[in-house]
């Protein structure tokens, strides 16, 4: 039987291929590498334990409380209605804190500055500012401060907190400011 010429090179190539495969030792199998499944947001982060620092409570009787923003003593203005020198109920707790502070700190002095808005004559605003300062002083005296610790003065319209014209600005100027020793 005669082999066609085309089949001969094919048969030779097949023989060589089989011989090559049979002469090499089998390759060792490699272990499949693990595949990690990740989804966005599934990242785990170890965090150090959080230590909460509790702020030291302020001592309402200490001088440091005057500058501590957590203390009511850091607030120093009492605001009044138009053409009035009656202390509003909303400022009673603030006045109580300052009254107790002055009572606990007998050497401290306070200057109370009464202010008015720009409406009204200069004389009228000076008189109204004085009445506002006196009203704050009287309230503090009723809450424990001594008379000789406080001085009430009027600045009238001379020290505005706001210089615009309009009710919102005028309301900021109708006030009594409380200043402690070293601040005036």
Q: Is residue 27 part of a domain?
A: no
> Containing domain of residue 143, as a range?
85-180
Q: Is residue 23 part of a domain?
A: no
Spatial distance between the Cα atoms of 42 and 120, rounded to a whole number of angstroms: 69
Spatial distance between the Cα atoms of 171 and 84, rounded to a whole number of angstroms: 12
As given in the structure block, the two tokens for residue 30 are 């490699």
Q: Is residue 62 part of a domain?
A: no
Q: Is residue 163 part of a domain?
A: yes
Give the global pTM: 0.68
Spatial distance between the Cα atoms of 178 and 106, rounded to a whole number of angstroms: 16
Q: Is residue 33 part of a domain?
A: no
Question: pLDDT digit string (tens) for 9-45?
Answer: 555 554 544 455 554 555 555 555 555 555 555 545 4
* Number of domains into which the chain is organized: 1
Q: Which strands form 150-156's sheet, in the order they lie side by side?
A: 77-79, 175-180, 110-115, 150-156
pLDDT for residue 41: 53
Do the Cβ atoms of 181 and 123 come closer than 8 Å?
Answer: no
Q: Is residue 130 part of a domain?
A: yes
The CATH number linked to 112 is 3.30.1330.60
């Amino acid at each position: 039987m005669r082999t066609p010429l085309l089949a001969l090179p094919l048969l030779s190539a097949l023989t060589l291929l089989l011989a090559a495969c049979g002469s090499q030792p089998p390759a060792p199998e490699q272990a499949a590498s693990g595949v990690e499944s990740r989804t966005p947001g599934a990242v785990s982060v170890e965090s150090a334990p959080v230590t909460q620092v509790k702020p030291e409570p302020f001592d309402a009787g200490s001088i440091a409380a005057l500058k501590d923003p957590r203390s009511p003593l850091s607030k120093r203005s009492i605001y009044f209605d138009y053409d009035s020198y009656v202390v509003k109920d909303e400022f009673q707790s603030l006045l109580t804190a300052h009254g107790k502070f002055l009572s606990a700190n007998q050497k401290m002095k306070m200057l109370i500055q009464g202010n008015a808005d720009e409406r009204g004559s200069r004389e009228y605003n000076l008189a109204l500012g004085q009445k506002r300062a006196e009203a704050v002083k009287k309230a503090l005296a009723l809450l424990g401060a001594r008379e000789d610790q406080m001085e009430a003065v009027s600045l009238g319209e001379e020290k505005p907190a706001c210089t615009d014209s309009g009710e919102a600005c005028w309301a900021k100027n109708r006030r009594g400011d409380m200043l402690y020793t070293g601040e005036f």
